[in-house]
Amino acid sequence: MRYISTRDIYGDVSFKDTLFNGLAKDSGLFIPINIPQVNLSELEDIFKQGVVTSDSKLYGSKKSFIDIAFYISRLYIDRNEISDNDLKDIMTRSFTTFRSELVAPLVKLNLKNKDTAPLYVLELFHGPTFAFKDIALQVLGNLFAYFLDKQKESNSSSKKLTIVCATSGDTGGAAIYSVKGKKNINCYVLHPKNKISNIQKAQMTTIYNSNIHNIEIDGTFDDCQTIVKDLFKDTEFKNKVNLSTFNSINWARIMVQITYYFYSYFQIKNYETDIDLNKLQFSVPTGNFGDILAGFYAKKMGLPVNKLIIATNENDILYRFINEGGVYQPVMTIQTLSPAMDITISSNFERLLWYFKTEDSDIKFFMNNLLKNGFFNVSNNMLNEIKKVFASEKVNNKEILDTIKQIKNDTDYLIDPHTAVGICSFIKNNTINNNITISLSTAHPGKFPDIVNEVLDNKERNNFVPEILKDCLSLEQKYISFDMNKNILSNIKNYIINNSES
């Protein structure tokens, strides 16, 4: 498999190049030169070989998850880059730290409203930092280490890798956990001041390995993300520090996340034998558009998905694009109860646009308009084609709290505020063909106790927070702060150069 840029200028590169470069030289995002098709029957057989049985019903297992992750990634990585044995080993090691034997278990929620279509929650928070980002970033950490070890064995450049990423809360902790202590990698994480939860911040800033650097920016996630993109545009800087990223602009993250769409499909198919899977849809809490984009790739690869629901909070750029005429126009970021989604520039949306472009719709033209004019718009035909695959809903803070409370009262199941956005969007979209819906649960509620506690009785408050998360709040936090000013990019470059060893 080879890769090209969404800007249609720079292309035909290897998987390793996409992994290490992050952005293409023309500032576009890497995409596979073609989308491979899966054999669903063959993949289901692979799933079944790793399942465990209970009450004569089939469930997933860690082995079946690993096997599907291997199968999917094998389609996107040539064997001359990573052998079958090495790739399987990478996948196996990546998921040994997960607390659930199923890695990503499905939970069926029986809401009291009998008119509501079947709803399942896909729990993606069983990794080391209690967030869905662990699934991809554990793999990325091992992929980086694998290629760096290969370079060392071949006496190639031994220069350390510098990973820089922006986080709206969960990417940072997952990235840090995946590379902490790795001698050939330095990791720099930018987070927005006072715009992530206390536990999210503590998870990042209480890791004291010398290769970990936390940077607090007095701005928004979009500011952090812009700084990271600007660093990648600076060729001289990239050459000095051997730069790469963990953000979802890195194709490898999308590739790994495709896994759990297929995995959840087979869980339902083998558990619920009397449902119409042609009506399956996914509701995905969406900020940077990476998680739901993986669902789009799964659909293009052959997964029978009817709709993908873009579930947004009040930072609703994608909701407005879908429902208000195809205009993509960022506005000021609003701080909400689902902070990891407080994003107004969804970087991965560029990848989606590439697949729907026509002869008169150029991605580079769209991105230049966004930069110069602050917006772009697509044709009605292009928008209508996108709407055949995607629907969208937006959820406000009151609806987030109401949904957490409703799910707790109806099912005695506790969700975090981001999962609430996904479930509330499902309820609002329940008129779509009465679809069976899988709503992605992106984080453990224990990462957001202040918000979740608002809807709980006194005796229930904080009892849901894992001890490991409580403990990190009492530790000393280590980070450096930068104010947003005209010199911030230069200041951060100097900080990274001064702290990165050759």
- pLDDT of 52 reads 65
The better pLDDT of the pair 112, 130 is held by 130
Over residues 229-260, the pLDDT tens digits come to: 999 989 889 888 989 999 889 999 999 999 99
How confident is the prediction for the chain on average, in pLDDT?
92
Q: How would CATH label the architecture of 106-128+252-460?
A: 3-Layer(aba) Sandwich (3.40)
Nearest by Cα to 189 from 225, 220, 136, 159:
225
Find residue 390's DSSP bridge partners: 308
Domain boundaries, the chain: 106-128+252-460, 131-247+466-502
Active site residues: 133
- Mean pLDDT within 349-370: 90
pLDDT value of position 118: 83
Q: Could you tell me which residues come within 8 angstroms of residue 440 by beta carbon, excluding any fewer than 6 positions away?
A: 121, 122, 124, 132, 282, 283, 284, 285, 291, 419, 422
Residue 9: pLDDT band by 50, 70, 90 thresholds?
confident
| The pLDDT of residue 502 | 47
Q: Which of 5-14, 53-62, 457-466 has the lowest mean pLDDT?
A: 53-62
* Top-level class of domain 131-247+466-502: alpha beta
Pick the range with the lowest mean pLDDT from 46-50, 274-278, 351-355, 465-469.
Answer: 274-278
- Give the mean model confidence (pLDDT) for residues 117-121: 88
Q: Looking at per-residue confidence, does 131 or 58 come out higher?
A: 131
- What's the pLDDT tens digit per position in 263-317? 999 998 887 767 777 788 999 999 999 999 999 999 999 999 999 999 999 999 9
Q: What is the CA radius of gyration of the chain?
A: 21
Closest CA to 174 of 259, 231, 230, 253: 253
Cβ contacts of residue 444 below 8 Å, gap of 6+?
A: 125, 130, 131, 416, 466, 469
Question: What integer is the mean pLDDT of 167-177?
Answer: 93
The percentage of residues in the chain with a pLDDT greater than 70, rounded to a whole number, is 95
Helix 349-356 to helix 290-301 angle, to the nearest 10 degrees?
30
Mean of pLDDT values over 206-216? 96
